[in-house]
A and B are shown apart, each in its own frame.
Chain A
């Protein structure tokens, strides 16, 4: 642990509480409201922000637009957009920029009204064939769910993984959601039919959406947003809450290749450098915040990050191992209720950082006893085709 460099920390967080703004708020308004709350959480203000990170989800050319909207004058402007993993990249870049002396207080924000817009993210048509890869793929009617389902299908074929094993991920996540009042309210607002803890049987008997993935293995489509403030050590030491240090980061991309292995995601490349930089191993991790667009996303990434060998994830997650109250068995998974049962407005990556920070502060509604190390892993794009991965290892003082 002596090699760890503590050059930047998460000092402010906010998750926008509503998952259904009923068309009354814009994504920009959600971003600004979240930013103000996250700055208050840190004991900072707009004028302290000197670096802005923005995925452009709320409007084009956000490099010009977002600072004006917030009314800030940053010295660092980063508009990396890698889909749902953008915020893990933003955290990595903020730490790098702070360590290089370019900035002291970085602001990351997210806002989306995907639910109010009735965005059919999972089962809509795939439009736009402007890029060459799309132009030889978009004629087949592959829904987003089917894209991920093809990873699950091959995982089952190669390793004998079962739907019951995949269901364990949905069950553990729902159990955590039921402990989180905002997640329960989200499920009410989004008109979930049956808001309660689920069983493996519930999941595998829910409606098939794209074989082999069932309804309860798919994330919700909500409104929402949030903000994260990251600061240099000299700022972090004087903030209102205790700092959550960024200890290691990794980035990677993956895409369809002739003869490639669809069951291995970009996490296999982004994870090892992140753990190595942090000087920790997966078996030391208390909380795993992993992008749960679908059950298979989590299973694949748990393997790729090294929590268990490739192909053994199905057996590894059995028996409720991922629950928050099973310390010693491996990390607690998505203790806020995840995208499956709490919050998924399209790009969930910022909530991974936020709940990891809550855990390391001791503020989670499914608090892991003595949580000291967490991983936040974002997956952006499509797991069964081209995607980006961002791994961030976080630790408390």
Chain B
């Protein structure tokens, strides 16, 4: 199990490929409709707010807020079982998208995290992409 690794996204999934390609440059991107202003997340080719569908890509600041979270104490996954306890969270980016992610960089996730807590982006490097994780914001 020494070589167990985080399960990585597929780069050939057509809706999300541009998002993962942008992570190589350290950009956390999301889509917004030029016609109706709807913020679309997860990525896709059409707008969910109107049928115009002129979506453009924007880069998020990386600042966000924990909407909710859980601390996984038990996992049978060969990689994640080595990480327990670890935090999974829905994080609301300041620009609107709600991302599922891990909150890292705390001594004890069972006591150091809260809904409403401010967090900031931290990349985890991989060969072909970067994984967007979050840590508590400074101060």
Contact = CB atoms under 8 A, between A and B. Distances in A.
Given A123-B76, A141-B72, A150-B90, A132 B83 contact: no
Overall SS of chain B's interface? loop
B9 A129 contact: yes
B79 interface: yes
Interface string A245-262: 000000000001111101
Nearest to B96: A258
Interface string A113-155: 0000000100111110111110111111111011101110110
Nearest to A155: B68
A209 interface: yes
A125 B7 CA distance: 9
A138 B43 contact: no
B74 A209 contact: yes
B41 interface: yes
Contact of A136 (B74, B100, B116): B100
B135 interface: no
Interface in B68-122: 68-80, 83, 86, 88-90, 92, 96-102, 110, 114-116
Contact of A125 (B43, B80, B92): B80
Contacts of B97: 258
On chain A, which size bracket covers the interface? 35 or more
A67 B125 CA distance: 52
A3 B110 CA distance: 53
Contact of B10 (A120, A130, A140, A262): A130
Contact of A132 (B8, B42, B96, B99): B42
Given A258-B96, A262-B90, A210 B42 contact: no
Contact of A150 (B14, B70, B77): B70
B58 interface: no
Contacts of A127: 7
A143 B67 contact: no
B68 A153 contact: yes
B73 A142 contact: no
Contacts of A137: 42, 100
Given A150-B90, A259-B92, A259-B96, A139 B72 contact: no
A204 B68 CA distance: 21
A208 B15 CA distance: 37
B71 A210 contact: yes
B30 to A, nearest CB: 9
A145 B71 CA distance: 10
B79 A141 contact: yes
Nearest to B79: A141
Given A157-B68, A256-B90, A120 B76 contact: yes
A211 interface: yes
Contacts of B74: 123, 143, 145, 209-210
A153 B39 CA distance: 26
A219 to B, nearest CB: 15
B27 interface: no
Q: Lowest 6 A-B CB distances belong to which pairs?
A: A125-B77, A141-B80, A132-B15, A149-B70, A154-B68, A157-B115
Given A124-B76, A211-B110, 16 more contacts: A124-B75, A125-B75, A126-B7, A129-B10, A135-B13, A136-B42, A139-B8, A140-B101, A141-B72, A143-B74, A145-B72, A157-B116, A208-B110, A212-B70, A258-B92, A258-B96
22 contacts: A125-B75, A125-B78, A132-B42, A135-B20, A136-B16, A136-B43, A136-B100, A139-B6, A140-B88, A141-B86, A141-B88, A141-B102, A143-B72, A145-B72, A146-B72, A150-B88, A151-B68, A157-B68, A207-B73, A211-B71, A212-B70, A262-B90
